Structure 1
Amino acid sequence: MLGLLAAWAAAGAAVMHREADLLAAAVWLLVPVAGLAVLGWLPALNPLNRPLPSRFMTHSAMIERAELWVQRKSTLSGLS
C-alpha cells in the first residue's frame, strides 16, 4: 500500500513539473517581438481616429437610396 502511495506521489510530481514547463513556455510566447508592444498596451505610433463602422453603414444606405430615384420615378409613372 505504501508503494502505491509513493507511485501516486511521483506521478503527481511529474504532472506538476510538466505544468510548470508549459507555463514557462507560455510566458516565452508573451515576450514581445521586435517592434511590437507588450500585449498591446502601448499606443500606436500613427493612430487613426475613425468613427465606428456602424456610422459608415448608415450613411452608405442613405446614399444607395438616394441613387435609386430613377427606379422610383418609373414605378410612380406606372401607377397612374
Structure 2
Amino acid sequence: MKTKSPTELEEALEIVLDEALDAAHQYAKGVKKLQALKPSDPDYEGRFGELAAAAFLLKLKADAAHKTLERIIEAEPKLDE
C-alpha cells in the first residue's frame, strides 16, 4: 500500500466522514420509517431488514473513518522528536 501524505489522508478522511454522515442519515430515515409501522404491518419485516443493512453500512463507514483518522495521527510528526 502506498504511503499517503498527511494532506492526502485528511482529504480521504473528509470523504469517508461525508460517506459516514450520509449512511447515518439513511439509517435515521430507516428508523423513522420503521417507527411509523406496526409490527403486524406486512412491510414491517422488510423495513427491519433494510434498517439492519443501513446499520451495517454505517458501521463500515465509521470504521473506515476511524482507520483513516488513525493513519493521520500516525503520519503526523511527533512533538517530542
Q: Which has more radius of gyration?
A: 1
TM range (shorter): 0.3 to 0.5
| TM-score (norm. length: structure 2) | 0.41
Q: Which has the higher contact order (CA 8 A, sep 6+)?
A: 2
Q: Normalized per residue, which structure has more helix?
A: 2
